[in-house]
Structure 1
Amino acid sequence: MITLVGTPLGYGVRVLVILPPSETKSDGGSGAPLDFGRLVLPELNEVRSRIADALVDLSGDLDAAQRALGLGRAQLAEVDRNADLFESPTRPAIERYTGVLYDALDHGSLTRAGKAKAADRLMIGSALFGVVRATDQIPAYRLSGGSRLPGFGTLAATWKPVLSPALDGLDDFVVDLRSGAYLTLGPVRGAVTATVVTEAPDGSRKVVSHFNKHYKGLIARELVRTRATVRDIGKLAAVLTNAGQRVEITSPTEITVITH
């Protein structure tokens, strides 16, 4: 059942889904080293370059890197990834990020048509790159949205003045699945967000944490598989409902996915 509260908003050219990144990333790759000139939204490259240079410089001081990146002793290999940022091989972003959300999306199992739609419809937020396309070639790295790099303020203060205008300039119906620190890096005006709640037998609800990522991965999967044209929140809810999810439209820019 779809419950409508308010009115549908947005009539973009296509649906564009912005995924959150993940702390875990796959190793290796067969692509050439990082080339900012081949990433989406070249207007972000000046900030990308400044953050990347700071990240490489930081890797020369292990203790400072551990503090800035919030790493435990068992995670210090992440500093080596950052040190090799400009030399290490790259792979498509959709293959670089791993974890619960990306397991649910299951990009590898998509048909050829599904992968083509994923290339067209998916972007991924990033504390280092701002945002990348699913097919952008990136290296493994470690930088979280809440990290504090020497010589910088918050990453949100660094990114928001350039990232929000760049994303607002896209002529798309945006479904923004980022949350927390990554959403504050560059909010998108008018984007639809998703909240995942669990409903108890007595009807009470609470926001889920860990499985939030799983259900957002399923949302993204349905939006790259669908043949429907999704240009407003009503059609978005209909696609998810037809896929077996229980969805409510709780505001003109928010859907709620209800689980048990």
Structure 2
Amino acid sequence: MLVLLPPSETKSEGGDGAPLDLGALSFPELNPVRARVADAVVALAGDLAASLTALGLSDRQVDEVERNAELFGSPTRPALERYTGVLYDAMEVGRFTKAERRRADRRLAVASALFGVVRAGDRIPAYRLSGGTVLPGLGGLRGVWRADLEKTLSTVDDLVVDLRSGAYANLAAIPDAVTVRVVTEDTSGRRKTVSHFNKAYKGKLAAALATTPREPGSTRGLVSVAKAAGMRLEPTDRRAFDLVVEP
């Protein structure tokens, strides 16, 4: 099983790993595109004004541009520890046992505007780049990533659970992936999509799928794992599920 997570705009600082080595990342067939995007990001960082505009940053976020300038020289840490924010906080990775962390590193991957997709244990630096960014010289990232990323993700033999947000789902389609919508249900059975706590619930689901001793290989297995974790996951189509939460 591969659980594909969205990235986060916020990243943790520092790290204890050696600088970025594209050759050490999972899915090495993506490295030519990764190199093109990374080089464009570093080049853009040489122009502060252009960087702030392209990345949608304010004058108070100059440090984000500085991160990009140091992309190939700054320390790295596992992707699962690099990304922060609501979804990753809800996963409570720090509470995983060693065995659970090994499972998580194998089962979890993160969609990325910079790297396409990386596994949870892949070591990456802090950076700033969003799925909707248009990079000078390269253009929109969907056009940059789509062909190669779709080819890579279509060859994953395992069950794929796609928890990506819109901007990252737009980079590449995964026709056979399972998708999850977080909803509430009123007393009449009508369902409404959750927006505010959507990431938190997806984080909890991802943690359950990542750490369960018996890896689910089917949609029925997904439902069972969710149920054991106290979550209600119901099919709405062959590959689409609703995660029903309390309003």
Both proteins in one fold, TM over 0.5: yes
Quote the Cα distance in structure 2 between the aligned partners of 1:247 and 1:224: 16
Paired residue for 1:97? 83
Asked whether the 8 Å contact 1:18–1:124 carries over to 2, the reply is yes
Q: TM-score, with normalisation over the residues of structure 1?
A: 0.92
Deviations, residues 129-172 of structure 1 (Å, cap 9, x unaligned): 00001111100000000011001221111101000111111111
Tell me how far 1:201 sits from its aligned partner: 4.0
Q: Report how many aligned residue pairs link the two structures.
A: 246
Aligned counterparts of 2:147 and 2:211: Cα–Cα separation in 1: 33
Please say which of residues 80-89 and 240-249 is displaced more in the overlay: 240-249
Which stretch of structure 1 is more off in the superposition, 72-81 or 23-32?
72-81
Letter in 2 for 1:20: P
SS at match of 2:233: strand
Normalised to the residue count of structure 2, the TM-score between the two structures is: 0.96
Match of 1:209 in 2: 195
2:133 matches 1:147: yes
**Would the aligned equivalents of 2:76 and 2:123 in 1 still touch at CA under 8 Å?**
yes
RMSD: 1.1
Cα distance, 1:239 vs. partner?
Answer: 1.2
The whole-number CA distance in structure 1 between the counterparts of 2:5 and 2:121 is 13
CA distance, structure 1, for counterparts of residue 129 and residue 186 of structure 2: 37
> Is 21-30 or 177-186 further displaced after alignment?
177-186
**Which of residues 221, 226, 236 in structure 2 aligns to 1:240?**
226
Percent of pairs with identical residues: 56
Relative contact order higher in (CA < 8 Å, ≥ 6 apart)? 1
Q: Cα offset for 1:232?
A: 1.3
> Is the 8 Å Cα contact of residues 237 and 255 (structure 1) preserved in structure 2?
no
Partners of 1:191 and 1:56 lie apart in 2 by: 33
Q: Distance in 2 between matches of 1:184 and 1:248?
A: 25
Structure 1 contact 156–181 (Cα < 8 Å) conserved: no
Of 21, 31, 40, 1:35 maps to 21
Question: Is residue 30 of structure 2 the alignment partner of residue 44 of structure 1?
Answer: yes
Quick one: which amino acid aligns to residue 145 of structure 2?
A: W
State the 1:228 CA deviation.
2.6
Partner secondary structure for residue 55 of structure 1 = helix
Conserved 8 A contact 1:18-1:176: yes
- Aligned residue identity for 2:171: L
Task: Provide the secondary structure at the position in 2 that maps to 1:181.
Answer: helix
2:54 counterpart of 1:68? yes
Note the C-alpha offset of 1:76.
1.9
Once structures 1 and 2 are overlaid, which stretch shifts more, 182-191 or 201-210?
Answer: 201-210
Correspondence for 1:133? 119
1:251 aligns with 237
